[in-house]
Structure 1
Amino acid sequence: MLYGIVAAAIALLLSAFLTGLLRVPALRLEIVDRRRRWPVPLSGGMAVALTTGLVAGVGDRVGAAPLGTGVGSLLAAGAGVGVLGLAADLWRLRWWVPLAGTAVAAAFVVPYGETGVPGGVLAAGWIAAVTVAFRGLDHADGLAGTVGAVTAFGVAACAAVELMDGIAVLLSVLAAALTGFLLHNWHPARAALGAGGSLFVGFVIASAAVFARAGQGIGIGAGVLFCLTAVACADAVLVVLGRRLARWPVPRGRPDHLGHRLRRLGLAPRAVTVLLGAGALGGVLVGVCAHTGRVSGGAVLWVAAVAAVVVLVLVRLPVTPVFRPRQRSSDASPQVTTQLRVRNG
């Protein structure tokens, strides 16, 4: 217990330090998020992955917090998925390459002894889907880090109930590392996760959740896993459904995620992050209580119903190719004002 607290504190400080330290090399090597108006270095992803692996590895090596059987392989597979995501940041790989690589990595870490082969195949597919969904959350300042930290703490709680101390410490360290990263990623962001960081975070969280629920029944297990990752799942469903209805290619990106649509309603960037973070916290609390048996399966259905209503309401909002917040005429130059008028028709 004491080591877990110390490890989390070290992870928070180390992640914040590395995120700032790696900003300059990331800018010089052009490892940046080019979707924004100005280049934002992707130093956060590298910092979170390095911090999580270093702190958890040292704890395992000195015997203070042994990771346990299979958890070291999980962390190694997560690192491999993170490297694949970094390659996608640098060279814009085809959309199916990170998905296929994540699915292969998931197939190697699923505990088939507890899930069985059919359940293990379903679990590997779920891990790959949630990992890609977490990558989709990296579209707004602070969102992926906030949702990831909340979810990681929830999975750590589930693992602690099952006396899986290694997974509990690993997820606590990951949550603390994401919190340190958020010091640089809160709006306006000075660093971002990128595909490398978001895929690493999503893979470790999803795989650890499968470990915590393995062997406890597929029905309620699927409900708990959904509650723990409700915001990421809702965002993925919203994107796929919206693009299919608009006859837009699903792999081709556009501003139609949860954060984009909430901004269309007039919410400020920080308000979007706080709102979705609160939603993630609500889902995580229900998931943890369902995992421990404190609430019935009906609570899981309520979370699914709320997520479905949010998706069905937001999918009706129009999506513009480029979103630009309005500026006051006194703050904008005549040229910018003219451009805004042209874009707005």
Structure 2
Amino acid sequence: MLYGIAAAATALVLTALLAAVLRIPVRRLRLVERRRQREVPLSGGVAVAAVTGTVVGTGLWGADAGGAGGLLAAGGAVALLGLADDVWRLRRRVLAAGTAVAAACVVPYGETGVGPGLLAVVWAVGVTLAFRGLDHADGLAGTAGVVTAFGVAACAAVDVMDGIAGLMSVLAAALTGFLLHNWHPARVGLGSCGSMSAGFVIALALVHVRAGFGLGESAGVLFALTALASADAVLVLLARRLGGRPAGRGGPGHLAHRLRRLGLTVPGITLLLGLAALSGVLVGVLAHAERVGSGALWWVAGGALVVVLALFRVPVHAADARYRRRSAPHCV
């Protein structure tokens, strides 16, 4: 217990310091993201990935226990892939392919079986890219990552998977240190390096935790713990598909964009969506611990569907408005 507290505290402090120290050199290297005409240096992702790997890898918590060592190595590879995307803006198919290779190397096929293991690879790719998509508003990706990582840590602790629980706790603490600089108005950003590596490690840690459980209920638990990222990705893909725009092209359409159009402030949106993520995580943890029945997981899925359908009607793009005019019934 004391080792875990020391590891988390160390990760929080080191990430906060490193993200601040790297701001100037990262800005000089033009590794920045533009938000509302502001250049935000992407030093947060490098800090989160480096500190998480260093703290866990140095043995403050058993990095080799329960597959955590493999997750750490694969997560580092995905962080490098994300860093390359921050620098050169890689195509999404390249990001998906690289993430799939990393995921395929650490899925516990012996416990899941080959078929479910391959499904887990596909799911991990989706979650990784969904977390990357959340990094479009100040504080959102970091908040979602903290909440979800703590949820996975709780699930791992229930099953006495100390290595994965420690890894998730350190990641959550590192993201908390990053949030000290990323709350609106953000002074540093997470970038693909941080968002992809965090989403990847969270997704594969969940696969390890649920390995050996039933496929149907495990799918429900996995969705509940990542409901916010999943709902955001579904909303964006649905809107772009029906709006006649390429799914891989960036632009408005995320949950935060639509809530902003409704008049909410940026901090208000982050808090609201953070509470939504926390609700799903709590249900997922309780379902994993068998404190609630599988019916509660359907409530999470239903709630996410209602949110997606409701916010889909909020126009954020001219093409969205044209589509709605074409599809709306004519009034006599």
TM-score range, shorter chain: over 0.9
Contact 2:7 2:170 in 1 (8 A): yes
What is the alpha-carbon distance in structure 2 between the residues aligned to residue 287 and residue 12 of structure 1?
A: 25
Question: Secondary structure of the equivalent of 2:13?
Answer: helix
Q: Deviations over 1:5-43 (max 9, x none)?
A: 111111111110011011011001111113541210000
CA offset at residue 96 of structure 1? 0.8
After TM superposition, the score normalised by the length of structure 2 is 0.94
What is the alpha-carbon distance in structure 2 between the residues aligned to residue 43 and residue 306 of structure 1?
A: 35
Match of 2:31, as an amino acid?
A: I
Aligned-pair identity in percent equals 65
What is the alpha-carbon distance in structure 1 between the residues aligned to residue 38 and residue 87 of structure 2?
A: 17
| 1:77 and 2:74 aligned | yes
Question: Secondary structure of the equivalent of 1:34?
Answer: strand
In structure 2, what is the equivalent of residue 302 of structure 1? 299
The 3 A distance-change label for structure 1 pair 69 and 294 is closer
Q: Deviations over 1:167-204 (max 9, x none)?
A: 00000000000000000000000001001110000000
In structure 1, what is the equivalent of residue 326 of structure 2? none
1:123 to 120, 133, 136: 120
In structure 2, what is the equivalent of residue 3 of structure 1? 3
In structure 2, what is the equivalent of residue 185 of structure 1? 182
2:247 to 247, 250, 267: 250
| 1:59 and 2:56 aligned | no
The runs of at least 4 aligned residues of structure 1 exceeding 4 Å deviation read none
Contact 1:19 1:181 in 2 (8 A): yes
Question: Secondary structure of the equivalent of 2:208?
Answer: helix
What aligned pairs does 1:1-345 form with structure 2 within 5 A after superposition?
1-34=1-34, 36-59=36-59, 65-320=62-317
What is the alpha-carbon distance in structure 1 between the residues aligned to residue 93 and residue 34 of structure 2?
A: 20
The 3 A distance-change label for structure 1 pair 66 and 204 is closer
Structure 2 portions without partners, runs of 5+: 319-332
Q: Deviations over 1:69-103 (max 9, x none)?
A: 53212111111111111111111111211111001
Question: Secondary structure of the equivalent of 1:276?
Answer: helix
Q: Deviations over 1:222-246 (max 9, x none)?
A: 0000000000000000000011111
What is the alpha-carbon distance in structure 2 between the residues aligned to residue 176 and residue 115 of structure 1?
A: 29
What is the alpha-carbon distance in structure 2 between the residues aligned to residue 69 and residue 255 of structure 1?
A: 40
Match of 2:54, as an amino acid?
A: L
Contact 2:15 2:178 in 1 (8 A): yes
What is the alpha-carbon distance in structure 1 between the residues aligned to residue 279 and residue 67 of structure 2?
A: 30
Q: How many residues align?
A: 318
**Coordinate RMSD, CA, aligned:** 1.0
Bigger mean CA deviation after superposition, 197-206 or 36-45: 36-45
After TM superposition, the score normalised by the length of structure 1 is 0.91
What is the alpha-carbon distance in structure 1 between the residues aligned to residue 92 and residue 291 of structure 2?
A: 40
Match of 1:246, as an amino acid?
A: G
The 3 A distance-change label for structure 1 pair 78 and 36 is farther
What is the alpha-carbon distance in structure 2 between the residues aligned to residue 174 and residue 307 of structure 1?
A: 26
Structure 1 portions without partners, runs of 5+: 322-345
CA offset at residue 319 of structure 1? 1.3
What is the alpha-carbon distance in structure 2 between the residues aligned to residue 71 and residue 108 of structure 1?
A: 13
Q: Deviations over 1:316-337 (max 9, x none)?
A: 111137xxxxxxxxxxxxxxxx
What is the alpha-carbon distance in structure 2 between the residues aligned to residue 66 and residue 33 of structure 1?
A: 33
